[in-house]
Structure 1
Amino acid sequence: MEFTNPLVYGAPCFIGFILLELSYSKLTGRKDLYKRKDFFASLLIGSGSAILAALLKTVIIIALFSFVYDLFNPITDGVRMNIFGWESFSYAWYVWILCMLADDFSYYWFHRQNHMVRFFWAAHIVHHSSENFNLGTAVRNGWFTLLYKPLFYMWMPAIGFPPEMVIVCLGIESLWQFQLHTTYVPKLGFLDRFINSHTMHQVHHAKNFEYMDKNHGGILNIFDRMFGTYQPLDEQIEISYGVTTPPESHNMFDILTHEYINIWNDMKKTKNWRYKFMYIFGPPGWSHDGSTKTVKQMRRELIHKKQ
């Protein structure tokens, strides 16, 4: 069975919604919501990401998921059976729900590792590098995440979800993520108990110390609650968006590569190969001499000082 990725229809609408929010912000006096150079940098990066995604999804995602699916779900006596002993999943409505839950689980860990592993953070920091939070920022996605993101989802076709189903669920997840990047939607009351909402995503994009590395969820916030990364918005705290090591540039290539350059410069500080490894694959902020600290280290120190 063939399905069309929802992004085929959703992506053209992105520009329309961005222009609508931009126009509304100007009409209502929020002229600081969009800044011209930052906005155009986001559009350029987003356009490049869309082009690369269209190419790589055909070559990598579809081919990879299909290969894994066929490998772990061979056809036996006319029936596609998983190697672990069950029949591969159908396209029934409840399987779609299970697939979306599996996708949301995968997205949580993919997103969380983007904040926990510096090599991944170097790609993901592009999305957080803007000091503005708007729908334009939503399309400001690092190009290099496209190369490793499928690895977090390979287990889904392996256990029997059809590749087309997984790709559609990925598309739905992306559509939800896009519309989260606006400050015009307030708290949602009861829905905030289980939905990853707009205010929760504002927390995620904040560089305030108390908000760092929180709310990695996709559509649901259940996994943030389960694994200790949930943080609701405190309306008494003034949010500051962006990152602690900004690119200090609106040049597209500086934004895309600046954290890789920072990693290289940190590696040159030591001849110890274990330290070099940690500068690449350790958490952001890790240093061999304590000159910079991770968010976890800073939080432990804060707790220690309060005792």
Structure 2
Amino acid sequence: MQRLFPALIALAIALAVLSSSIFVVRERDLALVFALGEVKESISKPGLYFKLPPPFQNVVFLDKRLQTIESKDPERIQTAEKKNLLIDSYVKWRIADPRLFYVTFGATDRGAVERLQAQIRDALNASVNVRTVKEVVSDQRDAIMREILTAVEARARPLGVEVIDVRLRRLDFAPEISESVYRRMEAERKQEANRLRATGAAESERIRAAADRERQELLADAYAKAQAIRGEGEGEAAGIYASAYGNNPEFYRFYRSLEAYRGSFSSPDDTLVISPDSEFFRFWSQTDESETNR
């Protein structure tokens, strides 16, 4: 029993040393192996690894997953027109060089987040300060994001950080200029509405004038045709009258006298003061004589 006890102690010590010499690197981790305070090895591939037991060697793990930095409060950035915009952004990043990252920020990513936020703020100011509100909001928004990504990526690379993407999520006017912007937009819309009304009124007058001109042309053409047809009819009627007069002049004179009587006595109240022996009543006198002879 006395011989077994030292063997068990030795086995326990060996197991403790062995367990402290084995470490596992997971898929989401980066590992830095330190020997007496200096980085001896950087490991990025997952697996089972061995090292010397402490205090000779120890391991520090870093997160190699893609991480996101979202601004808690929108940044107040001034445009080239001296107008303030509230810009909300986010950045995607990860550790590219664990050795540089650890030397710069240590084992936590708080320092990296603060440094990247400051770099994004500087890049935002540099890109937005030289542009107008319209360019920032719509025309050149993609170009601004590319500029910020390029600037932040170049400044973050020496720190062991790889910047993957930078996005501007929301752009709003500062409260003090929102009202003036809305008033200007309202005035522009009213001006455009007035312009459209004036254009419509001018077009309406043009269409109305064209329609009136076409109406006058149609009436004139119809009147000319009617006069031509009337002239042809009157000429044809005159020819018929002349032919009838030539065939039987006495009957023609009688017919014309009847038309004159009909026109003169069209109303029961019509009265003529004229001599019975006048030429107008010639056929009436002949009628009376014929009745007397009978």
The TM-score range, normalised by the shorter chain, is: under 0.3
Bigger proportion of residues as strand: 2
TM-score, structure 2 length as denominator?
A: 0.23
TM-score, structure 1 length as denominator?
A: 0.22
Q: Which has the higher contact order (CA 8 A, sep 6+)?
A: 1
Please say which structure displays the higher CA radius of gyration: 2
